[in-house]
Amino acid sequence: MKDNDKNLDVVKQEVITEDGIERTRSQRVYIPRTGIYEVEDAILLVANLPGVDKSSVDITLEKNLLTIKGYVEEDVPEGYSLAYAEYEIGDYERSFTLSDEIDREHIEAEVKDGVLRLRLPKAEPAMAKKIAVKAG
């Protein structure tokens, strides 16, 4: 094995809540695996949310905190009961702190096949401006 090969064992990690916080849903909540990429004009965030579609994802931006929540409903066919499962069903939640370099007004989001893609455009840098002085 090469030295630069990484261990890619993927283990679902459950969100740890603070004492006194109650959830309105009884399902577990997991931290979605997320990739963050930088391109010339934006930051791209790609989060794996298996079982989540457009109607079951909630993205909020409050001050500098971007929060992603994905809700998953257990899909057991009628007349069947689960005998064995290798994958636990649960919701997803993750938060990111954004810098002031992100243009908050033009953030775009798309979800397809359980993958959420967020495009966080970089803000225009403050342009230097020459101020004309008038004679009084």
Class of domain 28-76+85-121: mainly beta
- The pLDDT tens digits along the chain (136 residues) read 445 555 545 566 666 655 555 556 667 899 999 999 999 889 999 999 999 999 999 999 999 999 999 999 887 889 988 888 887 888 999 999 999 889 999 999 999 999 999 999 998 874 456 778 888 7
Question: Which of 66, 111, 86 lies closest to 12, judged by CA?
Answer: 86
End-to-end CA distance of the chain: 77
Q: At 58, which helix (H) or strand (E)?
A: strand 57-62
Over residues 3-23, the pLDDT tens digits come to: 555 554 556 666 665 555 555
Over residues 99-116, the pLDDT tens digits come to: 988 999 999 999 999 999
